[in-house]
Chain A
Amino acid sequence: MTSLAGQWNYFLVIALMMIGFYAVIARGNMVKKMVGLTIFQTSVFMLYISMGKVTNGTAPILTGADIADGAQTLYANPLPHVLILTAIVVGVATTAVGYALIIRVYESYGTIEDDDLIKMIEAEEEDEDKIGEAPSA
């Protein structure tokens, strides 16, 4: 295997990551953005976990013999697993905050498409200028 062929897993994950990235920056719908963010996030997790993989290794749960006389078996690297394990749960908690904000945006403006939202906010600012000019109507 050449050095380039050794990294195929990373390239595939990057392709996946960019689909999520595109969804986040190109789509106006906020729920779609959140789904894109989830895809992006999960792809980053995959990148990390790929780094922890050891060929012919096994899951980092020690077997009985290893506990008795030190680690002998080849294990995958547990460190990325720990980081990603917590990141997944934190990810869903922050995603929930995002959804909560989407709900509030919808309740205030009646839309979750960001181009409509920008128009609406601009219109509201114009209205506010008018109110400022003629306070008693």
Chain B
Amino acid sequence: MQDDPVIRVISKVMIPTVMLFALYVQFHGDYGPGGGFQAGVIFASAFVLNAMIFGLNRGRHVWPAHLNLLAICAGVLLYGLTGVASLFLGANYLDYDVLGATAKSGQHIGILLVEFGVGLTVASVMVALFFTFAGRPTHVRLLSKMQAHEGARPPAPKDEAKSEAKTKATKDNKTGAHK
């Protein structure tokens, strides 16, 4: 899939478009269907597409995991701090009336900030979920087993024979379980 020129070219066109659409959904959410939750998911899908086409490592390079973790926290913090800001300006927690010159503009600012916080959290959470699931090595079990073997006895042909017997036993076990 990674070498298919059609997929590569189309995805290069698609990824910015998807991101732009996510931003439209995010900031047009006041006027039409949309908002932070949807925009976050759509924005994350651009990263997921990128990682699916160009590989997980390239995907991680584009958006490193530690930045992603920061973004997850930053979104929740932005939401919470918007509430704190209105608290300091003399209103109740998450009462946006005092954030702007008039009550209406305050509400606009507050909703924009809060929705942006939601979008940031949802987008980075979805990216984190995808990378965690897709990055989980399928051979973890195998690896840990091999390490356990190396610790237990020196690698010898005998060991190999045993592991062969083991895989056979596992197979037997599995087929037995499926009956």
The residues of A with any CB-CB pair to B shorter than 8 Å are: 59, 61, 85-86, 88-89, 93, 96, 99-100, 103, 107, 110-111, 113, 116
Alpha-carbon distance A85/B29, docked complex (angstroms)? 13
Alpha-carbon distance A31/B174, docked complex (angstroms)? 18
Instruction: Please tell me which one of the listed residues A61, A86, A100, A107 contacts residue B132 in the complex, with CB atoms under 8 A apart.
Output: A100
- CB contact under 8 A between A103 and B37, given known A113-B177, A116-B177: no
Beta-carbon contacts under 8 Å, B121-160 to A: 122, 125, 129, 132-133, 136, 140-141
Decide: A96 and B129 in contact? CB cutoff 8 A.
Answer: yes
Query: Would you call B114 an interface residue if the criterion is a C-beta within 8 Å of the partner chain's C-beta atoms?
Result: no
Instruction: Please tell me which one of the listed residues B31, B41, B140 contacts residue A89 in the complex, with CB atoms under 8 A apart.
Output: B41
Alpha-carbon distance A100/B131, docked complex (angstroms)? 12
Given contacts A86-B37, A88-B37, A99-B133, 17 further A-B contacts (CB under 8 A): A59-B33, A61-B32, A61-B33, A85-B35, A89-B40, A89-B122, A93-B129, A96-B129, A100-B132, A100-B133, A103-B136, A107-B140, A107-B141, A110-B141, A110-B170, A111-B177, A116-B177
Residues of B within 8 A of A86 (CB): 37
Residues of B within 8 A of A111 (CB): 177
Query: For chain A, what secondary structure do more than half of its interface residues adopt (helix, strand, loop), or is it mixed?
Result: helix
How many interface residues does B have (CB within 8 Å)?
Answer: 18
CB distance from B126 to the nearest CB of A (A): 8
Residues of A within 8 A of B174 (CB): 110
Alpha-carbon distance A116/B133, docked complex (angstroms)? 24
Beta-carbon contacts under 8 Å, B29-54 to A: 31-33, 35, 37, 40-41
Alpha-carbon distance A89/B122, docked complex (angstroms)? 8
CB distance from B113 to the nearest CB of A (A): 17
Decide: A93 and B133 in contact? CB cutoff 8 A.
Answer: no
Residues of A within 8 A of B129 (CB): 93, 96
6 residue pairs of the A-B complex, CB under 8 angstroms, read A85-B37, A88-B37, A89-B37, A99-B133, A107-B141, A110-B174
Residues of B within 8 A of A85 (CB): 35, 37
CB distance from B9 to the nearest CB of A (A): 31
Q: Which of A89, A99, A111, A116 has the most CB of B within 10 A?
A: A89
Please give me the residue from chain B that is nearest to A113 by CB atom: B177
Interface string of B100-127 (1 = CB under 8 A from A): 0000000000000000000000100100
Alpha-carbon distance A40/B33, docked complex (angstroms)? 25
Alpha-carbon distance A111/B170, docked complex (angstroms)? 11
